[in-house]
Structure 1
């Protein structure tokens, strides 16, 4: 498993949206997982470790541009590589 040495360090804040200033394409070449309060979450769009939140879609609701509405969920955030 030499692949772990080639992975970039996970940042304090990361977003899936390529238009976000917190998006990093090099990180998404690897499979990233997020734990919120020791439970793995699969629908995470953005996270911030220092502020302790993740953004997840709010059901099927869409904004006027057709993107899902997001809600913040607070707790202990642990990003990791799978």
Structure 2
């Protein structure tokens, strides 16, 4: 049997944090990938294609609420379904 459900189009700005206004739960029903400067990244927490940046954890550093401290890296961003 083939899967007839269509994946929604990937948004320009997406976050994996459910508290973020840029979180779209329907997108995460399918596996997505992020290619940053030509290399696939597996640690991206948030991205914006039009502005050309991704947010990734800064090592093991945590903020005061116990969440990973994120840094913004600029470059070419591509989002795709796996």
TM-score range, shorter chain: over 0.9
Q: TM-score, normalised by structure 2?
A: 0.94
Residue 6 of structure 1 aligns to a residue whose secondary structure is coil
Deviations 1:33-76, CA, capped at 9 Å, x for gaps: 00001100000000000110000000000001000000011110
Residues 3-82 of structure 1: matches in 2 within 5 Å?
3=3, 6-82=6-82
RMSD over aligned CA atoms reads 1.4
Runs of 4+ deviating beyond 6 Å: none
**Aligned residues, how many?**
81
Gaps spanning 5+ residues in structure 2: where? none
Gaps spanning 5+ residues in structure 1: where? none
